[in-house]
Amino acid sequence: MWLQYEPITEKKVKDQYQRVLRHVVIKEDDPIILSAKNELEIAVKEMLDYEINWAEDVQDANFVIGNKKELAGFLEEGQRCLLADLADEGFIVQTINQKSYLVGNTDAGVMYGIHHFIRLMQMKADPSQLHIADQPKNQFRMINQWDNLDGSVERGYSGKSIFYQNGKIVKDKARIHDYARYLSSIGINSICINNVNVWEEETYFITKKYLPEIKEIADIFSSYAIRLYLSINFASPITIDGLSTADPLDGEVKQWWKDKVAEIYDYIPDFGGFIVKADSEHRPGPFTYNRDHADGANMLAEVLEPYDGKVIWRCFVYNCLQDWRDRATDRARAAYDHFKPLDGRFHENVLLQIKNGPLDFQVREPVSPLLGAMSQTNQLIEFQVAQEYTGQQIDLCYLIPQWKQVLAFDTHIKGPGSTISEIVAGNIHVYKHSGIAAVSNIGNDENWTGHTLAQANLYGYGRLTWDPSLSSQQIAEEWIIQTFGNQKEVLAKIEKMLLSSWKIYENYTAPLGVGWMVTPGIHYGPNIDGYEYSRWGTYHFADREGIGVDRTIETGTGYTSQYEEPNRFIYNILSECPDELLLFFHHVPYKYTLKNGETVIQHIYNTHFKGYEQVEDLMDIWNSLEHVMDNARFKHVQDRLYRQKMNAKEWRDQINSYFYRKSGIADQYNRTIY
Ligand code: GCW
């Protein structure tokens, strides 16, 4: 991936770095520092073909690395001030009078500083005059694995789990160790290592049967400043010890969890806490006992609190058994309706984890109105790096532009400037804890992410959680240079492919924000009425007159009322609603004219013909790189693009035929519709 450390061939750059790294001093009395030092050694050896000469004393060194406590006596006033303004995980990298300093507020800060320095080296930046002060914007920067003990990965498109195999935790943990390196290099500081759907055997992860080995995994991650979390089964007391109830207000149940948590911390002193998917898609939860989510989360929070543990409670709660005749129930409303009334009831160590959109990681959705709507409840936004609905790592879909759009969305919850980015950074409401989480896209495939170019999504996710102000283009450039080198042609072409890919994917799949239309269950490939005739509550309501979901206040489900003004007005009024989300909010006739001048039906035809052609363009761009690309990666991506083309064709033809038959309105340009 991006830590492959290709040798630097430019003599000038190589010399510059060798000069900076002449005599380096670093004290390795901590596992985090040791990992960081190892990383620096590997990077320097491979990129510069050079062994670092480690100095014993700060005085003898020309590059001083350490945390601010141990270097206190050697820092200047200005450096101390800079550090004082930075968060715990922050760091500075500076050159003063021919001497370089890399100082972190904590050991984790030192490690992030070293990763930053290595990145500069990979980017071949001039190291002679460094003046960097950096810190993460978000407190929680989390990855969720949806891995199961049998080795499968729910919504995994990159082979099997790197954590589990055939019902056991893997013995050889080399890949887990490498994964920790990757994650720390992009700033991730928390990981949950099992699926939020906790099945029978995984329920026992919090018992002696598995804790010793989970501790080994926790130690690996700890040495990269990443805290380990586990997803738990809310009904654990019943399953594990035969209690008659899992009622969160029952004394025996509370005591059970108290003992359980004590046992976990015996094994893993820096254990992060629990992730809970409760009362969602048939998972057990407090509803069974007539309790609410706050009752459930708080019971766990109380027992975790003495250890500084957290409860991350997911808000993906909705009625997945909807009757199609019931037009008042709206899945999009569910998270807000369930959780907003509970604001103020959750303990300080509870964080609500909320998907970026109100439905489920579609190619285009509005931002979830629950984000920011609870001023007294810690929140984490949840993204999906795994491309469940966005091409499953067969189709190219660089998701950073999508996440940036979400983060930039202004909720107006406390007036203009109340963006999602500021909300999850804890700057709008005073959250004690907040940040960003995402479902991982890795597996045991040799290239980790199925599609090699899908590595850019994991890389970008981490970089964005650290610094949401980075542009999609900057992130793409960094990733391409680290992964493919810095040849101008390669950089320009892959960048073009990445940056256009989300829109292309949207063009040939579901139109205008209506979403879904995927094959039920597997969620790849088109099946326009697949979910229309199932009970999951994800309708498009296409008939011979028109299409879209009326979510307005006056005639629809009233979902738009969950937004603050002016968003409420913009989404609620047909003429104000942006084209890209039109069918999410309104049901309109096929001949309705969009802001871009096209009718809805003509837009459907145009985008679907265009999307397919754009995939052909992607193939042409990639093919033109054959002479500068290694054969393995060239062939691999070529093959994925071919499969993408087949998929795009299928979507184009099914969508166009479907809507032509429904509407009876022909394509203005008479292109072939089957
Ligand atoms: O996107 C849906 C997925 C489920 C997943 C669920 C969730 C882990 O299709 O596979 O279950 O969301 O987020 O809980």
Q: How far is residue 106's CA from residue 90's CA, in Å, rounded to a whole number?
A: 8
Per-residue pLDDT reduced to its tens digit, 371-400: 999 999 999 999 999 999 999 999 999 999
Range 250-272 average pLDDT? 98
Q: Which amino acid is at 461?
A: Y
Reply yes or no: is the peptide bond before residue 369 cis, omega within 30 of 0.
no
Average pLDDT rounded to a whole number, residues 13-18: 95
Atom of ligand 1 nearest to the CA of 389: 1
Q: Stretch 99-127: mean pLDDT, rounded?
A: 97
pLDDT of residue 255: 98
Predicted confidence band of residue 96 (pLDDT cuts 50, 70, 90): confident
Q: How far apart are alpha carbons 303 and 583 in whole angstroms?
A: 45
Tens of pLDDT, residue by residue over 456-487, are: 999 999 999 999 999 999 999 999 999 999 99
Instruction: Note whether 347 and 301 are within 8 A (CB).
Output: yes
Enter the tokens of residue 412.
Answer: 């107006």
- pLDDT tens sequence across 597-653: 999 999 999 999 999 999 999 999 999 999 999 999 999 999 999 999 999 999 999
Residue-by-residue DSSP string for 130-146 = -EEEE--S-SEEEEE--
Q: Which of 316, 382, 387, 389 most suits a substitution to test ligand 1, by most atoms within 8 Å of the C-beta?
A: 316
Over range 268-292, report the average pLDDT: 95
Q: Which atom of ligand 1 is nearest to the CA of 361?
A: 1
Ligand 1 pocket mutation pick from 148, 153, 197, 531 by most atoms within 8 angstroms of CB: 197
- The residue whose CA is least distant from atom 13 of ligand 1 is 316
Q: Given a cut of 90, is residue 657 above it in pLDDT?
A: yes
Output the ligand 1 site: residues, CB below 6 A.
Answer: 146, 154-155, 196-197, 277, 316, 360-361, 388
The C-alpha torsion from 313 through 316 and 317 to 319, rounded to 10°, is -160
Using the mean position of ligand 1's atoms as its centre, give its distance from the Cα of residue 439 in Å. 10
Mean pLDDT of 292-300: 98
- Among residues 23, 7, 22, which one has the least CA distance to residue 121? 7
Q: Of 179-188, 228-237, 318-327, 600-609, which gets the smallest average pLDDT?
A: 318-327
Question: Rounded to a whole number, what is the distance in angstroms from the first to the last CA of the chain?
Answer: 42
Compute how many other C-beta atoms are within 10 angstroms of the C-beta atom of residue 379.
Answer: 27
- Please state the atom number of ligand 1 nearest to the C-alpha of residue 155: 10
pLDDT of residue 320: 83
pLDDT at 324: 86
Is the per-residue pLDDT at 674 higher than 90?
yes
The confidence band for 322, taking pLDDT boundaries of 50, 70 and 90, is: confident
What gap in Å lies between CA 654 and CA 509, rounded to an integer?
10
Burial of 319 (0-12, 13-18, 19+ CB in 10 A): middle
pLDDT at 229: 99
- Provide the whole-model pTM: 0.98
Distance 324 CA to ligand 1 centre (A): 21
Q: What is the arithmetic mean of pLDDT over 564-588?
A: 98
State pLDDT tens for residues 580-603.
999 999 999 999 999 999 999 999
Other beta carbons within 10 angstroms of residue 117's beta carbon come to 27
Going by the DSSP 8-state scheme, the letter that residue 364 receives in this structure is S
pLDDT-derived band at 27 (thresholds 50, 70, 90) equals confident
Q: List the one residue out of 212, 192, 464, 138 whose CA is nearest residue 310.
A: 192
Closest residue by Cα to atom 3, ligand 1, is 155
pLDDT of residue 128: 84
For 508, the token pair is 């040939």
Report helix, strand or coil for 555.
Answer: coil
Query: Which ligand 1 atom is the nearest neighbour of the CA of 154?
Result: 10
Task: Tell me which of 281, 317, 354 to substitute to probe ligand 1's pocket, judged by most ligand atoms within 8 Å of the beta carbon.
Answer: 281
Question: H/E element holding 589?
Answer: strand 588-589
Query: What pLDDT shows up at residue 534?
Result: 87
Q: Annotated active-site positions, please?
A: 281, 360, 388
In the Cβ-directed half-sphere of 376, how many Cα atoms lie within 13 Å? 9
ipTM of the complex: 0.99
Contact 514, 539 (CB under 8 A): no
Q: Give the atom of ligand 1 at the shortest distance from the alpha carbon of 280.
A: 14
User: What does the pLDDT read at residue 424?
Assistant: 98
pLDDT value at position 535? 84
Residue 200, pLDDT > 90, answer yes
Distance 361 CA to ligand 1 centre (A): 9
Model confidence at 448: pLDDT above 90: yes
- Residue-level pLDDT at 1: 96
Distance 167 CA to ligand 1 centre (A): 21
